[in-house]
Each structure stands twice: as C-alpha cells, then as structure tokens.
C-alpha cells in the first residue's frame, strides 16, 4: 500500500548506502521536498547535498525547534500547508510549455509532465512572472521564496542549471 509523503528528512550517513545517492535517486523520481540532516558540516558538503536535489540542509547538532521551523518553511514554499484559494487558476503558456501554478505542474510541448523540485518550480515561476526583466541572484532568491540559509553563492546557478537540463 502506498501513501503520499509530504517531506523527507534524510541523513547523509546511512548504513550501507550514502544518503546523497539516495537523495539523487529520490529526486530523479519524485518532487517530494528533501531536508538533509547530517553531522557533515563543511560548506562543500552542503553544496553537494543541494546539488543532489536536497531542498534544505540542517547540520547536527541542531535544535529541534529549528528543524520544525525549516520543515514548515519548506512545506509552505511547496504549498503543502497552504489552504486552497478560491482565486482564478494561474496558468502560463510559453514556447509550447504549460505551467499550472495551482497544481504546481509543468507540461512540456509534447504533453509530458516534467517533475520539478519545489525550488525549481518556484524559480521557474519567478522567471515566468518576471519575463523580459534582468534579475540579480539576490532578487531571484527573494522572489522565488528562498531564504538566506539556502542561498549559498552558487545555489541559484545550480537551480538554473538543473532547470535548464530538465527543459532541454
């Protein structure tokens, strides 16, 4: 029996398998948000975790209240905890693509659904809403709902690269 998972908290150091590999494999199949929870605290390790598809990274030791706040923030950005709004549906069409914001779906010109992480979807939504405008990294982070803990120097570059790969 299968059930819907809202969020995954994943440790890097798992017995028998790397949490980073598992993160990459999960991200290849699902859009469920992933928070890495690990004793590995080097910046490069955090960047690798984010590049592998994690939506956030919490180093050990951690305060449980901070983890809960980060979980709520990721779910809020993902739309999981927001009530359904009675507003009109936001559907964008561009270059044959269809972006349905109410369902958080991206459909390719050949009618194939493209799986995006929450961060990738938010970034694409920012691009679509800001068409024909030049935005700085800081503006992209702010407009796409990123927070300062997630905004490593190259995090937006990495997201743009992942998004571009999925849309090519």
What pLDDT, in 10s, does the model give residues 28-63? 888 889 999 888 778 888 888 888 889 998 888 888
Single out the residue of 80, 120, 121 nearest to residue 100, CA to CA.
Answer: 121
- Taking only the tens place, the pLDDT of each residue in 105-143 is 999 999 999 999 888 898 999 898 888 788 887 788 778
Tokens at 96, concatenated: 């044959």
pTM, full prediction: 0.48
Average pLDDT of span 88-102: 84
Backbone angles phi, psi at 107, to 5 degrees: -115, 130
Domains in the chain (CATH in brackets) are 1-82 (3.40.50.2300), 87-168 (1.10.10.10)
């Amino acid at each position: 029996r299968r059930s819907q998972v809202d969020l995954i908290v994943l440790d890097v150091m798992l017995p028998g398998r790397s949490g980073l590999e598992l993160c990459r494999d999960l991200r290849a199949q699902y859009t469920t948000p992933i928070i890495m929870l690990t004793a590995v605290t080097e910046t490069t390790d955090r960047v690798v975790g984010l590049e592998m598809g994690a939506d956030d990274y919490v180093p050990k030791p951690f305060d449980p209240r901070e983890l809960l706040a980060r979980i709520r923030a990721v779910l809020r950005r993902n739309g999981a905890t927001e009530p359904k709004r009675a507003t009109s549906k936001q559907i964008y069409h561009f270059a044959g693509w269809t972006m349905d914001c109410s369902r958080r779906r991206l459909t390719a010109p050949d009618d194939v659904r493209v799986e995006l992480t929450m961060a990738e979807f938010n970034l694409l939504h920012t691009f679509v809403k800001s068409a024909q405008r030049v935005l700085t990294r800081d503006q992209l982070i702010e407009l796409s709902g990123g927070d300062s803990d997630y905004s490593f120097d190259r995090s937006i570059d990495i997201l743009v690269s992942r998004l571009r790969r999925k849309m090519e």
